[in-house]
Amino acid sequence: MSADDFQAAVQRLLTQVGHWETGRWAHAATATPGTRGDLVHTLVQRLADLGADAEHRPHHPVPREHDMILPDQLRVLSDDLLAATPSPELLTEATTAITSVRAAL
C-alpha cells in the first residue's frame, strides 16, 4: 500500500473517533477484550513500533494517557511513521492495523 492509502486510513479513523467524549471511549470494543480506548492505544503502540522498525531503533512504550488524548497520539505517531519513510510492507501492515481497529470500534 502507498503512503496515500495509509494517510486515508488514518483520516477515516480520526473522522470516526476524533469527536468522541469520554463515555464513548469507555465502551467495550467489539470482538476484543477491553475498551475502545484500550484498542486504539494498542494501535498507537503498534504505529510507534512500526516507526521504530522503519528507523532501525528499539521499541519504547507509548504512555497510556487519558482517552481524549488518543486522537492526538494517533496523529503524531502516524506522521512520525511517514517521516521515517517506511517500506511498502510496513505501510501495508500499518494500514491493515488501522482498518482492523476501525472495524472493531
Instruction: Look at the block and give the residue holding cell 470494543.
Output: 29
pTM of the model: 0.95
Q: How many domains does the chain have?
A: 1
In this structure, the dihedral spanned by the alpha carbons of residues 28, 29, 34 and 37, taken in order and rounded to 10 degrees, is -90
Write down the number of H helices and E strands in the chain: 5, 0
- How confident is the model over 11-57, as pLDDT tens digits? 999 999 999 999 999 999 887 889 999 999 999 999 999 999 999 99
Q: How confident is the model at residue 29, as a pLDDT?
A: 86
Q: How far is CA 71 from the centre of its chain?
A: 9
84 grid coordinates: 521515517
With the C-alpha atoms ordered 26, 22, 39, 19, is the resulting torsion angle positive or negative? positive
> For residue 8, what are the domain limits?
3-104
